[in-house]
Structure 1
Amino acid sequence: MALALSGAYPPPPVPGRGGAGPLRRHWPLLPLVATVLLLLAPLPAGDATASGKVTPADAASLLLVFVCAVRALRGEVRRLTPVGAAVLGVPALGLAVATVTAADPYAALPGFVRYLQVFVLVPAAVVLLVRDAREFRLAAGCFVVLALVQGAVGVVQYATHTGASYQGEDIRAVGTFGPGDVMGMATVVAYGLVVATAVALAPGTGVRTRRVAGACALVLVLPLVLSFSRGAWIATFGAALVVMLMAGVRRALKVLCALVAAGVVLVGGLGVGSDMVAERLTSITQVGSAPDQSVTDRYTMWAAASSMWSEHPAVGVGLKGFPAHRDGHSSLGLSSGSDTAGAGQAYIRQPLLSPHNMYLLILSEQGLVGLMALAGGWAVLLAAGLRRALRPDPAARRMRDCGLIAAGLFIWQLTDFLYADIGGPSTVLTGVIIGMAAWWALTGPGDGGREGGREGAVPVGGRRAREGAATR
């Protein structure tokens, strides 16, 4: 069965009847733009990752879902095929099962709402509201803007010693996310770097656009390095490498040479964090032989998550159940928490409330039912998206940049899930990325693939009406 969605949009404005300007034409995307760009707003120290906090970006994502629901009731969004509905909707059933079967369903309810927001509602809203390649590029461009601003803040933090504490110095670049969410800036900078790399390499992209995107990608290497986030480095390298290979081996080699040269100049020539960066890189190869305490804690929590799943293989221990069951399944090697300080925040000992592996977190809290519902859908999206990018239909050839962006971001996210999970303000972007990947994978030839200019495809009932008129 083809993974496609049938287009259903209102007809384009009739000339002479007050035509729609760009803002009026694309206003449903404003909540999506706000969802990304409101992550530029600084949060009070200590509140960034607190449970139950609704950030401005979360509020914007809820508005996005509301706008989508209103337009769906008015018949102004595309209709999902059974396959599309299953990929986007089955996770909700798995989440409901994990909530109902939890030892304390009331305590699991906040987890149900959060998972529903990130993995069901926001992705579905993106798929239904983004109508063409132009709007997709608009959403992708917001990631680059967010990355450049957060990256600039992070570089200033490193240069002025006002960042998060790292090896006794306040030099770790964390942007506006603070030391309580050290992965926040690294994540959004990596997103922007992947998008910029995809645009710079995409066939058919204008020379000026390609140069600007390439410059953005090179600029974003510096704040990513200064984040000292090994996980973000690995995921970014893997995603960028896949994007480069999909764009062409020759181009991939050129970009790799440019990135290596930039790294040599920044770290070797200018000495930007050279000793610490080298030590951090070396530690990646020592996670098995001589792991540091953070890696030891991660291994211990992975083992605890596996133990929980072995006791509850079908439905897990329930959403939000990992912290309550952690100590009963952990060894004595687990520390009491991680130390955070700097960037305007006093010393705080943060508890370890998740296994830092999204797949193991799902397995331990939702069991095989939840893992198949969520990860199974991700596998379908990844396979369909790569297939469409590598063997594009005529409509997809005109928007190869969208395919590279969607594939790169989704591969980054799936790789990052191997050693990280959801949490913090940037979590809402996970839902946007899944939605962008689904938009690319599930839209068929001629559906949502227009370059802009014409608004959407055939309105609900419009094709039959015209065909009936022709026969009469």
Structure 2
Amino acid sequence: MALALPSRRPRRLPPVLPVLAVVALLALPVPAGGDGAGPADAVSALVVGYCAVRLLRARRRPLSRRAAVVLGLPVAGVALAAMNAVSPGAGIAGLGRYLQIFVLVPAAVVVLVRGRSDFRLLAWAFVALAGWQGAIGVHQYLTGTGASYQGEDVRAVGTFGAVDVMGMATAVSFGLVCAVGLALGRAPVRDRLVAACCALALLVPLALSFSRGAWIATSVTVTAQLLLAGPRRALKAGAVAVAACVVLVGGFGVGTTMLQERIDSIGQVTDAPDQSVTDRYTMWAAAVDMWRDRPLTGVGLKGFPEYRDGHASLALSSGSDTEGAGAAFHRQPLLSPHNMYLLVLGEQGLIGLLCLAGGWLALLVCALRGLWRAHALGSRDLECALVACGLLLWQLVDFVYADIGGPSTVLTAVSLGLVSWWSLAGADRVTPQAGTAVPDPSEPHARKAALR
């Protein structure tokens, strides 16, 4: 009698791989003279289509009711603002961009991420992208081949070029936040040690990006992650971070004169602001003035450049200069207020801001609720909670100094997808770690233990 050998089923690839492709494509150089979109944006559209096909074949509801409401909330404000746009073309273009970044790509990530392993895979992909972009940025600084800053080509911009100077800073910041969250979690010691080393290494390119907004957002976020991980871990990690900064600045001489001047300028934004800060204040005032004219609906999508000159004061310059990193001198027009909240308020009015910011607030509440649950159950999902809360907090703080635009914007969409998965799906699947006693959340001792 012949024994039948068990047949091996072919191993299926995880459905999250197309999202990984979007992150990987951001490592490629940005085509010169582009319209602000890159190959990653095109692939993100394919990811949304791929997700739709999978759902149609499976014949199942893609999102829960809560997820559909939270992710679909921005649609109402954006659609209304698109109807009030200065032209049909501008309305359609703006509608597509907002839906891509804040609705479609995040929803696709929520559907394609199946669990903690896929979440960790994407988080490590963020760290890898940050390492690649950071390495290129450090090389640009050392060789004088970066973007122009104070007359020298030393600003680290990675592969994003001089036009999108915030691109590398955003990618490195996301990677650093992910690395800190992974290091503070309950993964094996080796994984946490590697993540901590990556976080410390990413401090160098982040400093050399000369991006004050990224510095502030990262400092606030990492501090919050340390506190959310527990006071004991916060003290240990804080001591390591201080020691690393002392070594980097004192031992390796990272603190150059230009870097010190850039740090000092953060405290001079009200007393003696430079021209870039003056332009930003002027554009903020212009956006508020647009909102006052049309408080509910705003001036319409893509309307800020059209209405800017009629609302801005004479203190606004004609634009900013960009040069270096392989690009010739170019005068970059100021087409947005560099504040996402005021941009939405001016173009979409109070309705649009409430819809968009309301969705972010709901995600933050759900993410923190899941974090508390992971603490209480002693779950390994803690690292997912810390990464998700960190990414969302970083974005909310950075939006005070920046808005969407450029090839790096699709990375914001993927990060919001990770946040949405944890807030709307992963937080409800938290399970206790094997061998861990489950405390009763109603007991005061259990609540104190969860915060240690």
- The TM-score, its normalising length taken from structure 2, stands at 0.91
Give the SS at the match of 2:164: helix
- Residue type matched to 1:234 in 2? I
Structure 1 residues 186-205: aligned runs within 5 Å: 186-202=169-185, 204-205=186-187
Q: Which of 168, 171, 176 does residue 159 from structure 2 map onto? A: 176
Change (3 A) 1:35 1:274: same
Tell me which residue corresponds to 1:71.
54
Give the SS at the match of 2:50: helix
Give the SS at the match of 1:349: strand
- Residue type matched to 1:114 in 2? R
> 1:387-427: per-residue Cα shift (whole Å, max 9, x none)?
21023388782311101010001100111001100011110
Whether the aligned pair in 2 keeps the contact of 1:77 and 1:128 (CA below 8 Å) is no
Change (3 A) 1:372 1:396: farther
Alpha-carbon shift at residue 116 of structure 1 (Å): 0.7
Alpha-carbon shift at residue 106 of structure 1 (Å): 2.7
Give the SS at the match of 1:359: helix
1:223 partnered with 2:217: no
Tell me which residue corresponds to 1:460.
none
Tell me which residue corresponds to 2:143.
160
Alpha-carbon shift at residue 67 of structure 1 (Å): 1.2
Change (3 A) 1:449 1:348: farther
- Residue type matched to 2:27 in 1? L
Tell me which residue corresponds to 2:444.
none
Tell me which residue corresponds to 1:310.
292
Tell me which residue corresponds to 1:19.
9
Tell me which residue corresponds to 2:195.
213
Structure 1 residues 30-179: aligned runs within 5 Å: 30-47=17-34, 50-51=35-36, 54-75=37-58, 79-179=62-162
1:390 partnered with 2:384: no
Tell me whether 185-194 or 38-47 shows the greater mean CA deviation. 38-47
Whether the aligned pair in 1 keeps the contact of 2:290 and 2:298 (CA below 8 Å) is yes
Give the SS at the match of 1:41: coil
Alpha-carbon shift at residue 436 of structure 1 (Å): 1.0
Alpha-carbon shift at residue 59 of structure 1 (Å): 1.4
Structure 1 residues 294-443: aligned runs within 5 Å: 294-392=276-374, 397-443=379-425
Change (3 A) 1:357 1:234: same
Give the SS at the match of 1:341: strand
Change (3 A) 1:208 1:163: same
What is the CA–CA distance in structure 1 between the aligned matches of 2:38 and 2:219, rounded to whole Å? 30
Whether the aligned pair in 1 keeps the contact of 2:374 and 2:380 (CA below 8 Å) is no
Alpha-carbon shift at residue 233 of structure 1 (Å): 0.4
> 1:252-273: per-residue Cα shift (whole Å, max 9, x none)?
1222222222222222332224
1:249 partnered with 2:236: no
Q: Tell me the matched-pair count.
A: 429
Structure 1, unmatched stretches of 5+, are 1-14, 452-472
Give the SS at the match of 1:19: coil
> 1:336-383: per-residue Cα shift (whole Å, max 9, x none)?
000111111111110000000000000100011111111100000001
What is the CA–CA distance in structure 2 between the aligned matches of 1:184 and 1:103, rounded to whole Å? 28
Whether the aligned pair in 1 keeps the contact of 2:373 and 2:430 (CA below 8 Å) is no
What is the CA–CA distance in structure 1 between the aligned matches of 2:48 and 2:261, rounded to whole Å? 44
What is the CA–CA distance in structure 2 between the aligned matches of 1:448 and 1:387, rounded to whole Å? 11
- Residue type matched to 1:440 in 2? W
> 1:129-182: per-residue Cα shift (whole Å, max 9, x none)?
111100111111110010000000000001101111111111110000111111
Alpha-carbon shift at residue 443 of structure 1 (Å): 1.4
Give the SS at the match of 1:348: strand
What is the CA–CA distance in structure 1 between the aligned matches of 2:399 and 2:107, rounded to whole Å? 21
- Residue type matched to 2:181 in 1? A
Give the SS at the match of 1:162: coil
Give the SS at the match of 1:340: strand
Alpha-carbon shift at residue 447 of structure 1 (Å): 4.3
- Residue type matched to 2:18 in 1? P
Change (3 A) 1:191 1:78: farther
Tell me whether 269-278 or 330-339 shows the greater mean CA deviation. 269-278
Give the SS at the match of 2:374: coil
Tell me which residue corresponds to 2:249.
267
Whether the aligned pair in 2 keeps the contact of 1:78 and 1:128 (CA below 8 Å) is no
Alpha-carbon shift at residue 128 of structure 1 (Å): 1.2
- Residue type matched to 1:33 in 2? L
What is the CA–CA distance in structure 2 between the aligned matches of 1:252 and 1:109, rounded to whole Å? 47
What is the CA–CA distance in structure 1 between the aligned matches of 2:161 and 2:13, rounded to whole Å? 37
Whether the aligned pair in 2 keeps the contact of 1:381 and 1:438 (CA below 8 Å) is yes
What is the CA–CA distance in structure 1 between the aligned matches of 2:110 and 2:349, rounded to whole Å? 28
Change (3 A) 1:446 1:96: closer
- The TM-score, its normalising length taken from structure 1, stands at 0.87
Which structure exhibits the higher relative contact order, with contacts defined as CA atoms closer than 8 Å and separated by 6 or more residues? 1
Whether the aligned pair in 2 keeps the contact of 1:356 and 1:421 (CA below 8 Å) is yes
What is the CA–CA distance in structure 2 between the aligned matches of 1:175 and 1:380, rounded to whole Å? 34
Tell me which residue corresponds to 2:447.
none
Alpha-carbon shift at residue 445 of structure 1 (Å): 6.2
Give the SS at the match of 1:153: helix
What is the CA–CA distance in structure 2 between the aligned matches of 1:176 and 1:267, rounded to whole Å? 26
- Residue type matched to 1:40 in 2? A
Give the SS at the match of 1:31: helix
Change (3 A) 1:16 1:398: farther
Give the SS at the match of 2:336: coil
What is the CA–CA distance in structure 2 between the aligned matches of 1:182 and 1:430, rounded to whole Å? 15
What is the CA–CA distance in structure 2 between the aligned matches of 1:83 and 1:33, rounded to whole Å? 26
- Residue type matched to 1:164 in 2? A
- Residue type matched to 1:324 in 2? E
CA-based RMSD of the aligned residues comes to 1.9
Change (3 A) 1:316 1:290: same
Tell me which residue corresponds to 1:459.
none
What is the CA–CA distance in structure 2 between the aligned matches of 1:133 and 1:336, rounded to whole Å? 48
Change (3 A) 1:95 1:271: same
- Residue type matched to 2:307 in 1? H
Whether the aligned pair in 2 keeps the contact of 1:46 and 1:345 (CA below 8 Å) is no
> 1:52-93: per-residue Cα shift (whole Å, max 9, x none)?
xx4111112111101110111123666423221111112122
Tell me whether 89-98 or 146-155 shows the greater mean CA deviation. 89-98
